[in-house]
């Protein structure tokens, strides 16, 4: 069975991860999106609640602060759209 989505190291500068989606028509994975802002305006790294991706490339920047997690969701909310960077960030960096 083929995985519908695969998380890979970022293909876009300034992002933590990228996502490939399986195209059933041609049997190949295609770039879908990148997620997880990497740098702040001052050049320092953005932290996240917890990196739960299989790769765990950015787990050194986990803060595990439940109040910051609550404030993140209060600002940005949630979505059910798997084709959005928000869903991937919520699912793999903030839960």
Q: What is the mean pLDDT of the segment spanning 18-23?
A: 98
Closest CA to 95 of 49, 58, 53, 38: 49
Q: What is the DSSP letter of 13?
A: T
- Give the pLDDT score at 11: 97
Which tokens is 20 given? 């490939």
Distance CA 61, CA 48 (A): 6
Q: What is the mean pLDDT of the segment spanning 10-33?
A: 97
Query: What φ, ψ does residue 63 adopt, rounded to 5°?
Result: -110, -20
Interaxial angle between packed helices 66-76 and 85-93, expressed in degrees from 0 to 180 and rounded to the nearest 10: 170
**Alpha carbon separation from 17 to 27, 62, 81, 88 (Å, rounded):** 22, 15, 17, 9
Q: What is the mean pLDDT of the segment spanning 27-31?
A: 97
Segment 31-89, tens digit of pLDDT: 999 999 999 999 999 999 999 999 999 999 999 999 999 999 999 999 999 999 999 99
pLDDT band at 2 (very low <50, low <70, confident <90, very high): confident
- Give the pLDDT score at 1: 79
């Amino acid at each position: 069975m083929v995985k519908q989505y695969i998380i890979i190291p970022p293909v876009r500068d300034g992002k933590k991860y990228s996502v490939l989606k399986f195209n059933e028509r041609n049997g190949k994975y295609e770039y879908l999106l990148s997620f997880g802002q990497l740098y702040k305006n001052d050049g320092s790294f953005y932290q996240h609640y917890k990196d739960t991706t299989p790769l765990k490339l950015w787990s050194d920047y986990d803060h595990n602060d439940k109040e910051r997690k609550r404030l993140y969701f209060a600002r940005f909310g949630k979505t059910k759209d798997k084709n959005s960077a928000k869903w991937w960030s919520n699912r793999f960096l903030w839960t």
